């Protein structure tokens, strides 16, 4: 009976120790959940390839599916420029459309992206920065009728 209790205690100690080792890395930093890591506009700097998909309003009060790819350059100071190639299931293609925008990054690696693809049309996305800025996941929050998600991957230069 005593031996069973000792073995159970040893297993529990190893399990807790292993979990703790995973939560705190060799450099003393916390895990990827961002508890001690800080992000800023500078975390998001350089060229990113973006893939989008979702739905948006179309002429005549219809809703269309939309897909697209975007080449976006973040300046690391809260501004970006981009060239997008989008295709709507009703409106067709819109090739090489250029636009600019701004972004804000919170310490916890979340943020807001704002762009104005056409005068009077402001798109607001919420983002999560992943893997030290190598990837961004975003979703359009405004206008409400636009339901688009995107994945941004940093383009590595050789």
Report the pLDDT value the prediction gives residue 22, as an integer from 0 to 100.
41
Q: What percent of the chain has pLDDT over 70?
A: 75
Computed over every residue of the chain, the mean pLDDT equals 84
* For range 69-82, the mean pLDDT: 98
CA distance 32 to 97: 35
For residue 24, name the pLDDT band (cuts at 50, 70, 90).
Answer: very low
Report the pLDDT value the prediction gives residue 32, as an integer from 0 to 100.
54
pLDDT in tens, 83-130: 999 999 999 999 999 999 999 999 999 999 999 988 899 999 999 999
Pairing of strands 92-105, 79-88: antiparallel
For the CA atoms of 36, 37, 38, 41, what is the dihedral angle to 10 degrees?
Answer: -160
Residue 151's contacts (CB-CB under 8 Å, 6 or more residues apart) are: 50, 51, 135, 136, 137, 138
pLDDT in tens, 110-122: 999 999 988 899 9
Residue 48's contacts (CB-CB under 8 Å, 6 or more residues apart) are: 71, 72, 73, 74, 136, 152, 153, 154, 155
Query: For residues 37 and 107, which has the higher predicted lDDT (pLDDT)?
Result: 107
């Amino acid at each position: 009976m005593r031996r069973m209790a000792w073995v159970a205690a040893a297993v529990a100690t190893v399990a807790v120790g292993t979990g703790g080792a995973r939560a705190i890395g060799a450099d003393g930093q916390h895990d990827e959940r961002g508890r001690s890591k800080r992000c800023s506009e500078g975390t998001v700097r350089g060229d990113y390839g973006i893939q989008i998909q979702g739905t948006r309003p179309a002429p005549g009060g219809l809703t269309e599916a939309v897909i697209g790819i975007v080449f976006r350059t973040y300046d690391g100071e809260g501004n970006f420029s981009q060239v997008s190639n989008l295709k709507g299931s009703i409106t067709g293609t819109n090739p090489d459309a250029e636009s600019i925008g701004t972004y804000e990054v919170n310490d916890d690696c979340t943020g807001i992206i704002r762009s104005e693809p056409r005068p009077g049309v402001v798109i607001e996305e919420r983002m999560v920065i992943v893997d030290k800025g190598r990837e961004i996941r975003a979703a359009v929050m405004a206008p409400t009728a636009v339901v688009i998600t995107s994945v941004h991957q940093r383009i590595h230069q050789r």
